[in-house]
Amino acid sequence: MSREQRTKIDALLRQPRPAGIGSVEEIRAGFRALMAQMNVPTEIRTRTTTLGDRLAVLVEPVSAARAGTILYFHGGGFVYGSPETAMPLTANLVTRTGFRAYSVDYRLAPEHPFPAAIDDTLSAYRALLDSGEHPSTIAFAGDSAGGGLAVTTCLAARDAGLPMPAAIVAFSPGLDQTRTGESMDTKAGVDPLFTRESLEHNGAMYLAGQDPNQPLLSPAILADLTGFPPMLLQAGTNEMILDDATRLAARARAAGVDVILDITADLPHVFQSFAGMLDEADEALDRAALFLGQRISTRDPISQ
């Protein structure tokens, strides 16, 4: 147990912030500054490309990549974040698995509220399929809001008649815009990053007045997960949206879906970002990489 490491990270996330909730640009700048402090593996190469209707960053290992693709969705409450801020996570998955990853630059609220983000991530998946990639060679992964998108993009794909990807990996996924999980109250104050006010402020920008009681906005309590691929849900006990992951795992089990609920004690939201600074972050990423390596097919689909 890395008590000293966890204490330092908790203190970092509790650093004084300006009073009240800032403007959208201030929130975005603050998040960029926070994520710039994280470690990014150097054994990668990146380039900007397009996937569907949006820009995406292709992240590849320096050495020859294995056959298979991770479609990555960054976090940021649907309001902030980018493929660049998610690079500590995306690059770590790439270096640990040997697979390439596309990190999608989906549209953000409030300029582009729900369902713009899902439209963009679904378009990216469709583009991979249209390019000839077999669904068994593709996995969805994401953190926070992006972890939620990994789930809701699957829902949208199934509704559109598209095949399911091979797997889902979600780090601290946001899966309930109704904010009804018990952890919203039991972890208030324990969570060093969020308050109910901050979560509801960002949520309101994404909702833009729409009812959160629908599967694409609150899959943890409303989604039918029948036919979903295997899922790995990782979270820390010190986060207000912990019950988003626990309730989705229960729904997955009830629907007959293979699901691993991987909860680590005394850690904050998306603690995996602290790879190289926190032992548990590296261990969690190793488990995620093992899961992806077991689920993404590296064989020729025609011969399967």
Q: Of 144, 172, 183, 273, which is the active-site residue? A: 144
Angle between helices 279-295 and 87-97 (to 10 degrees): 60
Do 259 and 253 touch, CB atoms closer than 8 A?
yes
Residue 241 to residue 269: CA distance in whole angstroms = 8
171: β partners: 143, 234
Residue 231 to residue 141: CA distance in whole angstroms = 10
235: β partners: 263
Strands (E), the chain: 44-51, 54-61, 69-73, 100-104, 138-143, 167-171, 231-236, 259-264
93: β partners: none
Q: Of 134, 269, 273, 280, which is the active-site residue? A: 269
pLDDT (tens, 9 = 90+) of the chain, 304 residues, equals: 588 999 999 999 998 776 567 899 999 999 999 999 999 999 999 999 999 989 999 999 998 889 999 999 999 999 999 999 999 999 999 999 999 999 999 999 999 999 999 999 999 999 999 999 999 999 999 999 999 999 999 999 999 999 999 999 999 999 999 999 999 999 999 999 999 999 999 999 999 999 999 999 999 999 999 999 999 999 999 999 999 999 999 999 999 999 999 999 999 999 999 999 999 999 999 999 999 999 999 865 444 4
Closest CA to 72 of 167, 155, 207, 205: 167
Burial (CB count <10 Å: 0-12, 13-18, 19+), residue 60: middle
- List phi, psi (to 5°) of 55: -70, 155
Q: Of 74, 82, 134, 239, which is the active-site residue? A: 239
Residue 285 to residue 171: CA distance in whole angstroms = 10
Residue 125 to residue 130: CA distance in whole angstroms = 9
Helix, strand, or coil here: 258? coil
Locate 121 and state its tokens.
């991530």
Q: Is 183 tagged catalytic?
A: no
Do 94 and 70 touch, CB atoms closer than 8 A?
yes
Q: How much is the pLDDT for 127?
A: 98
Q: Is 74 tagged catalytic?
A: no
Q: Is 2 tagged catalytic?
A: no
Q: How much is the pLDDT for 225?
A: 98
Residues contacting residue 166 through CB under 8 Å, at least 6 positions apart: 135, 136, 137, 138, 139, 229, 230, 295, 296, 297
